Structure 1
């Protein structure tokens, strides 16, 4: 007499299949929520430090973690330092992400004179930049030192202006500017950024290209890769 055949455990099979399908998705979502998220630079507002079509990774955990699908912080263990390159939600349309350099902290008084910065009565040190960029005669480059970090900024003119704009940073908000000082839409024009709108700190350029594929504008043209920018860390 033959043994009856065992009935397959279809419930277990389906559970395994669903878990196999969902696990990679949940893993990617978890990494993007808590660790790193990729962004592509769409404009020249951060030239010379970030170029159009630079692909960067942003540390989502640099300042804390947001509640999933919310602007509110689940936990925040630090705030940005002056000079950090930060991705944040654009105050006038939170569905859009911007990237700029942090200039003013909560409570700071910012004075801007033709892109030159004074914070709480102390001017950022500016020195002419000497390097390969000076071959570009259309622009003027300076090394800016905010006492915590030094970085290169770009101007259309080397002249300083007599006109001064003064900004008082409110509590729990921040003031941002682009490194391409005369060609940047930033806090000088649309105001301050709420602490809740901070997304993370720019970490590294993992891919960069001069142009994208004509049929897929989000994909770099392999023949136009800027190899000298690959894996460049950002300060």
Structure 2
């Protein structure tokens, strides 16, 4: 009888052990899938609002719930607003993530001329260029996601390859699409060059800078050098 009880007891511990092991993994997966996801800014495309080596948090539930794999929406309950800073998959390479400011909504009429933009005949207020902005020839040109670091991405931000001319350009944003630009408009490769962002490629709204640094570790470009932190930017709200 005692032997039988011992066997039953040992068998009963397996489901509990498995549940104990899987529960935190499921919660981490759920947290990253539905709620928040961290990203790292590697270039000056969004200066002065976002700096190189800003570590940001994106609210993935901002506009709805997406499937853990693939594009599209499971449930969409809120439309993006003009002025939102959004993270999205690059339309020309969906393995790459971009971050830009949403300028044009579906149906909006945009006029671009001499670096200025008007939305529905109203001038769009662009952030002033930073005094130290420059053409970053060493721009990060990679996207990284490894099984050893599943909670961090690097957002790829292209430098400008060419400047738009002075000729006036009129654009109507198609349905289920958005027009986006970088705040540092002269150092940003955005909708002016490669077109609109389909709604299904939105990842979420950039919410907050949770950590920032002047330099990262040479051996791990996603990890801040603890001696080069910018503590004044910790937990800064992204506007």
**Smaller-chain TM-score bracket:** 0.7 to 0.9
Q: Which residue is 1:7 aligned to?
A: 6
Please give the root-mean-square deviation of Cα atoms over the aligned residues, in Å. 2.3
Query: What SS does the corresponding residue of 1:7 show, helix, strand or coil?
Result: helix
2: CA distance, partners of 1:201 / 1:195? 13
Match of 2:222 among 197, 206, 218: 218
Q: TM-score, normalised by structure 1?
A: 0.82
Query: What SS does the corresponding residue of 1:224 show, helix, strand or coil?
Result: coil
Gaps of 5+ in 2: 135-164
Deviations 1:41-81 (A, max 9, x none): 12211011001110001111110001221212010001110
Alignment coverage as a number of residue pairs: 209
1:175–1:74 Cα change, 3 Å: same
Greater relative CO (CA pairs within 8 A, separation 6+): 2
Alignment of structure 1 residues 34-183 onto 2, 5 Å: 34-125=34-125, 136=131, 162-183=166-187
Q: Which residue is 2:237 aligned to?
A: 233
Q: Which residue is 1:189 aligned to?
A: 193
Moved over 4 A (4+): 125-129
1:31–1:128 Cα change, 3 Å: closer
Deviations 1:157-192 (A, max 9, x none): xxxx74323222111100000000111010011110
1:137–1:195 Cα change, 3 Å: closer
Q: TM-score, normalised by structure 2?
A: 0.81
Deviations 1:17-63 (A, max 9, x none): 21111111111110111111111112211011001110001111110
Gaps of 5+ in 1: 140-160
Q: Aligned pair 1:198/2:202, yes or no?
A: yes
Query: What SS does the corresponding residue of 2:187 show, helix, strand or coil?
Result: coil
* Greater radius of gyration (CA): 1
1:22–1:114 Cα change, 3 Å: farther
Paired residues of 2:82 and 2:105 also in contact (CA < 8 A): yes
1: CA distance, partners of 2:222 / 2:125? 38
Q: Which residue is 1:144 aligned to?
A: none
Q: Which residue is 1:145 aligned to?
A: none
Greater shift, 13-22 or 100-109, is seen at 13-22
